[in-house]
Amino acid sequence: MPENREAVTLFLGLETQWRTNDWTGKRIGIDYGVIGAVATMMGITMTPLLFDDLRLMEAAALEVINA
């Protein structure tokens, strides 16, 4: 849907910014410290709603990736 374009674009832009568990190698989440910088470089304005959307996608992705 068009209203999700920025969230999906940013989520995909963060594909190399996942933190992993040192022992298992499993992904544990996106490195939140880089989200603002990546959004700025992509010309995306961060908002609380956009952050919530990222967190929803992150949780769904973790369920699939670590299944």
User: Which DSSP helix (H) or strand (E) runs through 56?
Assistant: helix 48-65
Band (66; pLDDT cuts 50, 70, 90) = confident
The whole model's pTM is what?
Answer: 0.88
The set of long-range contacts for 34-38, using a CB threshold of 8 Å and a minimum separation of 24, is: 35/10, 38/10, 38/13, 38/14
- C-alpha pair distances (Å), 8 with each of 5, 11, 13, 42, 56: 5, 5, 8, 12, 11
Whether residue 31 is predicted with pLDDT greater than 90 in this model: the reply is yes
- Token pair of 51, please? 């952050």
Q: Model confidence at 64, in pLDDT bands (50, 70, 90)?
A: very high
Residue 1 has pLDDT above 90, yes or no: no
pLDDT at residue number 13: 96
